[in-house]
Structure 1
Amino acid sequence: MREISLADVPGLVGQELGISEWITVDQTMINQFADATLDHQFIHVDPERAAAESPFGGTIAHGFLTLSLLSAMNFGTVPKIREQTMGINYGFDRVRFMSPVKSGARVRGHFTLSECRFRGAGMLMTSYDVSVEVEGEKKPALTANWITIVQFDPKDRPEGV
């Protein structure tokens, strides 16, 4: 995994920082997510009914399942900040579910650093424009702006920021 310093982060704004490995979203994953979220809508968990009654030709992943995979996609893709002591999800702006992820499809994330700003003595707020590509499809499964907070020891704050 690549490592960078806090001082390097501002210079990366506007750059794609990485593309994740492919993740297969199979029916088992979809069913487990349905169980965890209590969302058992037939388009997710009933392949026969979804094939017969939906426009998708079979089951599809929950949009929130695809969104939740961003954490796994991010890990090992976006460079690790050496001084980071903890990372926190702050939220999302402009989440859009653009196209379905069919059961068995492979997805991967694209991460572009869109903004960063130092806050307080030991925090860096970062925003990433993210998209989740579906293998073989033209439209992404989702697009969003993901906001995170990098915490670090204040003694490690770069000078002049």
Structure 2
Amino acid sequence: MVIVNSFAEYQAFEGKEIGNSEWHKIDQAQINKFADATLDHQWIHCDEEKAKNEGPFKATIAHGYLTLSLIPYLWKQIADIRNVKMEINYGIESFKFGQAVLVNDEVQLNAKLKSIIDLRGVTKVVITATLNIKGKNKPAYVGDVVFLYHF
């Protein structure tokens, strides 16, 4: 895990890989809880039997937004940003989903610092986030997440 104590320390990673999270297994229970939370119970996510017999992946798949929602959890395994008064999830940009995450797949977030800027005391950071799937060559997604930090 990378520890960052200041803007200057953060800036040293600009254009570089920061690191990878641990692997996280997405099981059917997590998919079902996400479906309940978002009211998205489409059969491709929740109906294991139909997905197995009729679905293109022969298994249920995680919601794309479920995989996106893992970013804060996985990011905290990569970097510990210290001495901040407040951290804000500011936005997501240019995300492309490359392939589905099947039930029981393990995923890992890779983070690279695309840019960092001081906006009169507020640090705006753009992280290129790639969600890798264990055993697969193509990532689940690649895109930029934007965080604001008040050091």
Is the shorter-chain TM-score for this pair beyond 0.5, marking a shared fold? yes
Counterpart contact for 1:50–1:58, Cα < 8 Å: yes
Q: Deviations for 1:56-103, whole angstroms, at most 9, x for unmatched residues?
A: 11100000000000111100212x233212110111111111101000
| Higher Cα radius of gyration | 1
Cα distance in 2, alignment partners of residues 11 and 42 from structure 1: 46
Residue in 2 that maps onto 1:137: 136
- Counterpart of 1:91, as a letter, is G
Unaligned 5+ segments in structure 2 are none
Pairing 1:63–2:81 present: no
* Structure 1 Cα separation of the partners of residues 82 and 91 of structure 2: 23
- Further displaced range: 84-93 or 37-46: 84-93
- On the 8 A contact 2:2/2:18 being kept in 1, the answer is no
Report matched runs for 1:114-125 at 5 Å: 114-120=114-120, 122-125=121-124
- 2:66 aligns to what SS in structure 1? helix
* Paired-residue identity, %: 38
Question: Normalization by structure 1: what TM-score?
Answer: 0.89
3-state DSSP of counterpart to 1:12: coil
Q: 4+ residue stretches of structure 1 with deviation over 6 A? A: none
Letter in 1 for 2:92: F
For the Cα contact (< 8 Å) 1:6–1:81, is it kept in 2? no
Q: Partners in 1 of 2:68 and 2:146 — Cα distance?
A: 13
- How many aligned residue pairs are there? 150
Deviation at 1:149, TM superposition (A): 0.3
| Cα distance in 1, alignment partners of residues 105 and 77 from structure 2 | 21
Amino acid at match of 1:25: I
* 1:26 equivalent in structure 2: 27
